[in-house]
């Protein structure tokens, strides 16, 4: 048995081995996985736009006019009219001077931190940050320190001890817990100590704030320096890609120096056209967020007396912590037997001992879908 075989076997023995599921239908709340119809409560398609006919039609029109590939990086010949229009519209939407579209949120985070933070500077980040922020800090030449989740006193201490430039990096909505970062307090600390505040709003953009403008809007905060705003487009917007928003100087700096922007092929223009249509829908159809809010409230009320460990989240991410990886896998299996897909989330995605069901809601879920889920969870609670 080779070293790789041993590593794979160890993952199996620890209930940490992961398997891909074959999706055989459109993205949505009712899907087909491995030839089995299932009700999904695990997608980040929060507003139900991934298969919206208007978004599909916009992508088709974009492909017809601009082709299916961009052909080059943005700084060669890949920066098309749809890309440019999307950047201007995204900047206006979140209230920033300017925006820059990246191919993925992972690339956006790596591009920002590696461009702005040099040797002798310090990146301070929450321990529960998304892997893209953790990896970005590792790849940057700066020093990095992580603080216990939401520990503002520790953030302040690290800022006081820093000698060079500083940057606080945080999820705006934490992807596995569903809670919001204390953005007003973090911003005050960043301003007090002359540092940046980078917030990855992958799970807040489109979902919270005025007309879905995101987590800073939720707190009534404008996107002024020293804020660096990261938004992703493959979740509430239902398409693909990401963007960085901030001051004109920040964006021009990234355009000139971010390696993950300069040295990669641009997002297909058709995707940019689809995202422009998604943005129009996000801005104009507040009923989607209202529907999502009602589902979340009804879910939390329904689960409150089941004895399950529901985390304090008011967002579309509603985790139920079960502890061991074995327990989470067993719960996933029992739910699937009843036609419900909620994959087990296990280490290293979450800390050891906090394996969970990560339940997520979409505006496309019906009251009947919710009742089906609650009934299945009630049986799970009784069995536990």
| Annotation marks residue 334 as catalytic | no
Peptide bond into 340 cis (omega under 30): no
Cis peptide bond prior to 333, omega within 30° of 0: no
Give, as one character, the DSSP assignment of residue 23: B
Q: Which alpha helices (H) appear in 150-304, and where do they start and end?
A: 152-161, 183-192, 215-218, 248-257, 259-262, 269-284, 287-303
Task: Determine which one of 175, 215, 217, 362 is catalytic.
Answer: 175
Is residue 203 among the annotated active site residues? yes
Residue from 79, 83, 235, 365 carrying the catalytic annotation: 235
Strand order in the sheet with 166-171: 98-102, 242-246, 227-232, 196-200, 166-171, 122-126, 143-147
Q: What is the largest CA-CA distance in the chain?
A: 60
> 209 in the Ramachandran plot: left (φ > 0), alpha (ψ -120 to 50) or beta?
left
Exactly one of 203, 218, 365, 369 is catalytic; name it: 203
Task: Count Cβ atoms below 10 Å from residue 129 Cβ, excluding itself.
Answer: 22
- Strand 242-246 and strand 227-232: the pairing is antiparallel
Per the annotation, the verdict on 235 as an active-site residue is yes
User: What positions carry a catalytic annotation?
Assistant: 175, 203, 235
């Amino acid at each position: 048995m080779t070293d790789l075989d041993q590593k794979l076997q160890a993952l199996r023995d620890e209930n940490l081995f992961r398997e891909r599921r074959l999706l055989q239908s459109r993205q949505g709340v009712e899907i087909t996985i491995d030839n089995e119809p299932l009700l999904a409560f695990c997608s980040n398609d929060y507003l139900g736009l991934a298969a919206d006919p208007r978004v599909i039609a916009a992508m088709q029109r974009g492909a017809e006019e601009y082709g299916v590939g961009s052909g080059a990086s943005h700084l060669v010949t890949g920066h098309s009219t749809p890309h440019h229009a999307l950047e201007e519209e995204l900047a206006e939407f979140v209230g920033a001077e300017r925006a820059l579209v990246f191919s993925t949120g992972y690339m956006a985070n790596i591009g920002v931190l590696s461009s702005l933070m040099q040797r002798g500077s310090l990146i301070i980040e929450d321990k529960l940050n998304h892997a893209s922020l953790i990896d970005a800090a590792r790849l940057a030449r700066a020093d990095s320190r992580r603080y216990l989740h939401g520990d503002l006193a520790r953030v302040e201490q690290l800022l006081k001890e820093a000698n060079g430039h500083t940057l606080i990096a945080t999820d705006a909505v934490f992807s596995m817990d569903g809670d919001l970062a204390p953005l007003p307090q973090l911003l005050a600390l960043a301003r007090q100590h002359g540092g940046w505040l980078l917030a990855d709003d992958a799970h807040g953009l489109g979902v919270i704030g005025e007309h879905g403008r995101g987590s800073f809007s939720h707190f009534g905060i404008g996107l002024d320096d020293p804020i660096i705003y990261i938004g992703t487009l493959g979740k509430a917007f239902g398409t693909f890609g990401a963007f960085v928003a901030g001051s004109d100087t920040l964006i021009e700096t990234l355009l000139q120096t971010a390696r993950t922007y300069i040295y990669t092929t641009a997002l297909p223009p058709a995707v940019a056209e689809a995202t422009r249509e998604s943005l129009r829908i996000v801005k104009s159809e507040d009923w989607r967020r209202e529907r999502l809010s009602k589902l979340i409230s009804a879910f939390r009320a329904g689960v409150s007396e089941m004895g399950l460990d529901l985390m304090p989240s008011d967002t579309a991410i509603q985790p139920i912590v079960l502890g061991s990886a074995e327990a989470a896998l067993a719960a996933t299996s029992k739910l699937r037997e009843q036609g419900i897909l909620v994959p087990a989330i296990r280490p290293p995605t979450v800390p050891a001992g906090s394996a969970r069901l990560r339940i997520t809601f979409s505006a496309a879920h019906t009251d009947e879908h919710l009742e089906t889920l609650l009934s299945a969870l009630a049986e799970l609670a009784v069995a536990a």
